[in-house]
Structure 1
Amino acid sequence: MSAAVIPAPPTRRQLLTETALVLGVSLGASAVWSLLSLVNKLTQHVALNRQTTAMNSSVTPDRPWLDLTYQLVGMLIALVPVALALHLLTRDRADARYAIGFDLRAPGRDLWRGLALAAAVGLPGLGLYAAARGLGLNTTVAAANLSDTWWTVPVLVLSAAQNAVLEEVVMVGYLFTRWRRAGWSVLAVVVVSAMIRGSYHLYQGFGGFVGNLVMGLLFGWVYTRTRRVGPLVVAHTVLDVVAFVGYALLKGHVSWLR
């Protein structure tokens, strides 16, 4: 009987190629489309701050049941890169999900850390958005444009959670693990991850880029201290729930919301 062959550990080149491919089918591709969207907006004959960026839009508003199906399927497909990233990490370490803190081992601690992070990011982020719009550097972000049905708020909450899981598991848990193993310094990992995070928000304008770049730097620093993406997922979910649901509830009642 032949001895079992132990596969050689991945080389630096293989690790970097793998991360490029994962980004290429997920948030890296979003960054490319986001850049093109910004170029399109900048070359319009309308000022950037007079344009509107719509998010969470209905696909078939005249058929709510089909629209709900579109929304749910879209969220499930968007989570495939998360499953891919965890699968790739698990090939090297069976407890990879626990190693990056994507688990329920410390729910209370993750919750209060996440809420504190959301508070630290939320108000300054709103101020940055308002300033960027005032300076003509950002579009008006219409954060929720679903039909008014019984499932609108639950879908917006699920959309917020989906965004949080996708971004924090891939951009932090997965990339930090892979890039550190490839020999990158902690500073390089934090900065490059934050730059990519900012880039796939360029469709909103330069304010969206800067705000998410700063958020990425803060989240990256927190992760290097805690080694848990749990608090980041909580914080990101809370921020998006407030933005999405708050917009849906206040639209038509507040003058500066379109």
Structure 2
Amino acid sequence: MTVDPAALAWADHDAVLFDLDGVVTPTAEVHMRAWAEMFNAFLADDTVTGGGDRSPYTDDDYFAHVDGKPRFDGVRDFLRARGIDLPEGGPEDSADVQTVHGLGNRKNDAFNAVLERDGVTAYPGSVLLLDHLRDLGLPLAVVSSSANAPSVLEAAGLADRFETVVSGAVAAELGLPGKPAPDTFVHAATVLGTTPERAVVLEDAVSGVRAGASGGFALVIGVDRGAGAAVLTDAGAHLVVADLAELVPGEDR
């Protein structure tokens, strides 16, 4: 299905589900830096056992193994890709413990430090679309793998724009598998009183686009913040834009 952004009929849908990092706010860049700092310090640590490929972590690793996934899944998938074997540990592991959960908590500490220091400002084009959808009266949700989604929305001044936020913490509490499984998006649609066949998903991550496509959502819009338009299309996006302003009638493109 090919969709013209200028002709998109929002009123034909019942709800719009947004990923957060990289779609509404540029916090994907903060996540990328936090992942890179954490993994490269880990890979360069000669005291760490577990074998595997210890060459430096790159942006390609982020898009291939980490982007859009729950934090601990991202750690597991990256380590698996490098052939590195670490104990699983548990959520209570401190950030200095060399386990899957320890590394995930180390990354989370780095992210929160940057967010507290620098704050976050939403993409202007994303705010334009949020304004347009509010005027149409469409219910909105955030569906994010990040447990930090509520604090990011508060920092960006957007917490009141969404009827529900399905964060990584909510998914864990409900036992919902993370992206690329569609369950968190399906749950958000249900909370908003609709079904996937009547809802729109907006995602910048390959794993999130795959989640929307596999969940049978009416429209999956890829937002190309670095993954690549062709990659997002191949993952199942019906339409790819570089900025959400492209989806607002009358905005310059």
Q: Which has the larger radius of gyration?
A: 1
Task: Give the structure, 1 or 2, with the largest relative contact order (CA under 8 Å, sep 6 or more).
Answer: 1
Between structures 1 and 2, the one with greater helix share:
1
Q: TM-score, normalised by structure 2?
A: 0.28
Kindly indicate which of the two structures has a greater share of residues assigned to strand. 2
